[in-house]
Amino acid sequence: MKEMILLKLGEMVLKGLNRRSFEDKLQANIHRRLHPFGQFRVYTRQSTTYVEPKEDSCDVIAAYEALQKVFGIVGISLARPCEKDKDAILATAKEFLDDQLRTAKTFKVETKRADKSFPMTSIQLSQYVGGELHEAYENLEVDVHHPELVVHVEVRDFAAYVHAQAVPGAGGLPVGINGRAVSLLSGGIDSPVSSWMIAKRGIALEMVHFFSYPYTSPEAKEKVIELARLLTPYTGHLTVHVVPFTAIQEELRRSCPEELFTVIMRRFMMRIAQAVANRCGAKALVTGECLGQVASQTMEAMMVTGAVVDLPILRPCVGMDKEEIVQIARKIGTFETSILPYEDCCTVFTPRHPRLRPMLSEVEKAECALDVDGMVQAAVEGIERIHV
């Protein structure tokens, strides 16, 4: 039989009466992710999702690699199905895992017998297959505690399956099961990580980027689009709402106290992000803020920044240190793009001595000189939408 893919589900299996909705969302996400690689049958039985190729032209290996980035899956195995017969299982193990069996020094066999009508117990089947493999491969020694290779045998409803160790999946919950949010995407390290972390909790994302041409270059904009592309294997399709921000920043420089420039600028970002959220039905905003990292990320500054919106602001990186954020950025493949030397709008007109603990009353007083609603409306009307 052809190889197929077994997917182990994560915390979804702990759900109650709504578990089916989580499984349906995961299957829909899997189908979309597998579309470039051929036609597959996807179904779930006993907390395992099965991905079977429908035709010989399916690229199972590419599908196997792609599914490692689908949220909701904690383990993924490339497996070979066979008849539910001890000799068929042994023959499949020898054929499917021959290369690994020849190179390993120690091994063991682990069996899960979901089909209780199978005539051998899990221990008996493990002993039989393990004994025969030990005889067939002179290089192998049994080590039940720390084996180099684990041969997994699963006897389930429709067939038996043989595979080696599962590789870790992305974990989390299926994207979209917990609604939609707008994520503020800069060209830095933190915001792609925060977007990935919140997508892992089952939230579909719309991305907002603030673009200040000519103070920021077209290359800076392309850098952000590339970051969005790097996130799409995890998040699915993304729309990046590119906001023209130059006029707002120039007006703030003319009309606002220099030490309050950054916090007032971020208040405008929040207002515009909420306007985008209202348009696309999003129920929260997401930022890459990390407590104490820069002047605009003190508790006082974040309170003042968030005071202009009604939607909750999700800050998944808020309690992390920079090294933890960098580790995740490297893991998800965004780090090298994030450190490209193209600055974003947050570096434009940076004050020499920003206020670390701004007071809401003084910020609101400074904004009295501005046509806040008109500035926000003009920026929203000028948004360019890029589908990634």
Q: pLDDT by residue (tens digit) across 24-53?
A: 999 999 999 999 999 999 988 877 899 999
Whether the Cβ atoms of residue 10 and residue 171 lie closer than 8 Å to each other: yes
Q: How far apart are CA 107 and CA 88, in angstroms?
A: 20
To the nearest 10 degrees (0 to 180), the angle between helices 299-306 and 360-367 is: 40
Distance of CA 111 to the CA centre of its chain: 31
The residue that leads in pLDDT, 352 or 330, is 330
pLDDT in the model for residue 342: 80
% the chain with pLDDT above 70 = 99
DSSP-derived 3-state class of residue 35: helix
DSSP-derived 3-state class of residue 269: helix
Residue-range domains of the chain with CATH: 4-170 (3.30.2130.30), 180-387 (3.40.50.620)
Neighbouring C-beta atoms of residue 268, cutoff 10 Å = 24
Q: Which residues pair with 149 in a beta bridge?
A: 107
Model confidence band, residue 14 (pLDDT cutoffs 50, 70, 90): confident
pLDDT in the model for residue 1: 61
pLDDT in the model for residue 353: 83
Least confident of 11-15, 39-43, 167-171: 11-15
Q: Cis before residue 214, ω within 30 degrees of 0?
A: yes
Q: How far apart are CA 180 and CA 237, in angstroms?
A: 13
Q: Quick check: 347 pLDDT over 80?
A: no
Contacts of 348 (CB under 8 A, 6+ apart): 212, 215, 216, 249
Average pLDDT, the chain: 94
DSSP-derived 3-state class of residue 313: strand
Residue type, 94: K
Q: What is the average per-residue pLDDT within 372-377?
A: 97
Q: How far apart are CA 82 and CA 93, in angstroms?
A: 10
- 50-92 pLDDT, tens per residue? 999 999 899 999 999 999 999 999 999 999 999 999 999 999 9
- Find, among 214, 207, 265, 252, the residue nearest to 232 by Cα: 207
- Find, among 109, 59, 63, the residue nearest to 86 by Cα: 109
- 252-301 pLDDT, tens per residue? 999 999 999 999 999 999 999 999 999 999 999 999 999 988 888 899 99
pLDDT in the model for residue 341: 86
